[in-house]
Structure 1
Amino acid sequence: MSDADHVLPGAQGDHVTRIQAALVTLGAGVIAADEVDGRLYGPTTVRAVLAFKGPPRNILGPGQTTPDNIVGKKTIAALDIEIVAFENRPPPAVVSLFVSLTHEGSPHDHTTCPVDGSGHPVDHIATPVNPGLGRKVNIGGEGETRYQGFEDFVTDPGVVGGPPRPLTDTVVSDTATDIALRSAPISTRGEREIRRIAASGARLTIATNSFTLPKMEQIVQRLSGVVIERISLPDTSVPDGLGYQILVVVLPIKL
């Protein structure tokens, strides 16, 4: 609320992370991995800020004709207003060929599904639907995609939380036609494993909340995938969440 507290390039901290998350959520741009990891207001964050402050918003200071790279009171207010609208938007009137848009998932017998801590069947929102005929791998899964024939794996040893799951090391290279990734942290090793196990034209479904979306966007870029569907869904299960961002990616054909 103070002009003296505006945020400039070079700033670092959790407040920068929140600005980055809001910018990516509102479609202002993709932010580099080192800036996301370092919570740094660097060049790609500047680019997203300038895109956000430019047309059609035209967030300008006195006497300005083009936006500057300062995140000040006007910019924060605009981000807040649009994020509140994002959080409170009605459920999307969309149909997806690739993911479930409901917590129930595709019609199936829920009594066969694992249960959560409250004894209810696991949540199936943003899980893949209509998978292919090949091997189906859910990285970090806990049974929520089992009804679609997915097997749960982890890419790194020593994963904390969730039931014991085998490493993707046991999956034969170039055999996974469908790979699901739902709010699971992915390491450099994990990215290598996705590349290794993916068959030609494999489909990768990523569902994540907006705070981790910048990192997931970087994964997609590094995988050289083509996003064939992008959906935003409100996520009421996370008090401070901005919703699910769902990316359905087709990986390039392997040479």
Structure 2
Amino acid sequence: MVGSIRIQEVEKKFVNGSGENVQALFDVSLDIKPGSFVSVIGPSGCGKSTLLRLISGLSQPDKGHIFLDNMQITAPGADRGFMFQEHNLFPWLTIYDNIAFGLRARKLYKENKEKVTGILHLVGLDGFESYYPHQLSGGMCQRASLARALVGNPKVLLLDEPLGALDAFTRMNIQDEIQRIWKEEHMTMVMVTHDVDEAVYLSDTIVVMTARPGRIVKLVHVDLPRPRDRSAENFFRYSSEVLRLLHYGGTITEPEFYL
């Protein structure tokens, strides 16, 4: 099984607009099992997205090391797919050509044509191949972005708050799609989110981080059967635990009953 990630004592600083060094991450260590779904949650500015970029190889740590299947990550690679907050589709290309773009750039398209068609079907975009991004809804563009990240058959899919701009109904639908694809493809997924319920709904493990400089407070292992019932009492208990760790609203007490 592939897709194991090991993060060892990672630290990262950056220079802000005033020229000051800002510590984004401090002494972050984490092991992510292959085939698991891990969510990273914490206050704004705590380094969640920075951590994802370090795993992707788009940025390098100032201290520490990150490994994928025991190989140190030093640059971006096709073994890691990345789904950003915005869909970032090329507006001048059709949905099909957007998804095929990476394969063409790597000169792998001819032998993988059927992969593009299969991915379109996997994300529910059959019949929209010739459409342009401006002709589709935000949710469908995010499906296309997901397809583009998957078409290279990565070991790991990194998701940086990809559903934050969507309405609640569309968001829940795509959460279900992401979960279905994760189960079918058996890949490792690491997602940054601000949504506690989303993290509980999707994750095997939730990584809770402090405010900047970002450090890991606790790993919350979600032991609930799938598919998960968002209205179940145990679901609320996990959400409450994460909220307590984030110190939102002071002490959160358990309700005496549920509507």
TM normalised by structure 1 equals: 0.29
Which structure has more relative contact order (CA 8 Å, sep 6+)? It is 2
Structure (1 or 2) with the greater helix fraction: 2
Which structure dedicates a bigger proportion of its chain to strand?
2
Q: TM-score, normalised by structure 2?
A: 0.29
